[in-house]
Structure 1
Amino acid sequence: MSPSIPVQRQLRLIVVLLLLVWLWAAIAPLSRSDWLLENLLVFFYAALLAATYRRFAFSPGAYWLFALFMALHLYGSHYTYAETPLGYWAKDALGLARNHYDRLVHFAFGLLLVCPLRELLQRRAALAGRWLEILSLSVVMAMSAFYEQLEMLAALVLSPELGAAFLGTQGDEWDAQKDAGLAMLGAFLALLLRPLLAPRPR
């Protein structure tokens, strides 16, 4: 997004676009119960970003990354992660054994969110250099591992009958480990590429 567009206008555009995606995802989802369960975290993080905006405002680029990740998640919540058409298309096109859309989103978690988290650590913890990169990667790994535990607890406590659809393991006993590993890989790649993609001072 062009830096010439005012920040507030960009934020309003992000909110409008996300609301449109959310409304689409809310209309006749494949499983209404699973959709509600998947959206608990959407509601929580959206409220957290809104509530902390005055105390800590991320850069516009960070909010676009948040929005892109949230849109990917909302698409998955509409169909359930194991039944997304995009995942089935990739399965057929690449000859895969399963629908890998959930793996894509876990990879995107690291790829898209490590830079906003790096921004938070840089500005609030005054970190720099190698420690900033290491701790940014570590936070993504910790959040990914925490999410896997939270996902399991939510399935067991809130809706045990939706466990398979919500967890999206598709019979893979190593699903949680692979998901966390992909989040780490995505974050590592983003940190590796960030210096090449960052705008250079004129």
Structure 2
Amino acid sequence: MLLALAVWYAVAWTALAIEPVDRRDWLLENILALTAIAALAVTYRWFQFSTPSYVLITVFLTLHAVGAHYTYAEVPFGFWLKDTFGLSRNPFDRLVHFSYGLFLVYPFREVLVRLAGIGGFWAFYLPVSGMLAQGGLFEVIEAIVAKIVSPELGTAYLGMQGDEWDAQMDMLSALLGAMVTMSVLSVAGGRSKTAGKRDR
């Protein structure tokens, strides 16, 4: 399964690397993504995520690759959403930040449960809190990278679209995504325990 996911992402990434809307922005967007992939490869010997986690990570990275190809503010699907729902801006950037929390909080929880041994309430609260902290950290890192590597690409790279509250809204989007996943996981866990008791 892991090999299939790797092949899928490699093919998707390669296809989306062909003639992106802005090559310099595409390079900038891929710095953190490729760093994350390298980290997963290097640490694989010591820590393997579950199959669901690898699937969720791959889905998120694929969405990110789409955003990098078009630049987040220019993704066609985002314009369709904007026109369909009468939005004031292309929401694809917000969608991916929401997906960041929605898809990556589960792997993050897996790390906390397996390595730190957390359980109970903390196994649901800390992953959500951690994703909010990561969202804030990445907003800071993105701003620094944009400033150092290519200040003139800052607006395209950060996808602000004239919104002075863009960073805060991105963090909120990630927080909501993480809360959705942990809520579903909590309810599913509670139901499975109830069903288990009834079967006894």
TM-score (norm 2): 0.93
Match of 1:53 among 18, 29, 44: 44
Q: Once the two structures are superposed, what CA deviation does each residue of 1:87-108 show, in whole Å capped at 9, x if it has no partner?
A: 0010111111110100000000
- 1:85 and 2:64 matched: no
> Partner residue of 2:32?
41
Distance 1:151 1:15 in 2: 26
- 1:110 and 2:110 matched: no
How many percent identity over aligned positions? 46
Secondary structure, in 3 states, of the residue corresponding to 1:22? Answer: helix
Match of 1:25 among 9, 12, 16: 16
Distance 2:15 2:82 in 1: 24
Partners of 2:49 and 2:110 within 8 A in 1 = yes
**Where does structure 2 lack aligned partners over 5 or more consecutive residues?**
none
Distance 1:110 1:163 in 2: 23
Task: Give how far 1:42 is off.
Answer: 1.3
TM-score (norm 1): 0.92
Any runs of at least 4 consecutive aligned residues in structure 1 with deviations exceeding 4 A, and if so which?
196-202
Distance 2:158 2:33 in 1: 16
> Partner residue of 2:144?
153
Distance 1:110 1:189 in 2: 9
Task: Give how far 1:110 is off.
Answer: 0.4
Distance 1:71 1:182 in 2: 18
- 1:123 and 2:114 matched: yes
- 1:69 and 2:32 matched: no
- 1:133 and 2:124 matched: yes
> Partner residue of 1:3?
none
> Partner residue of 1:143?
134
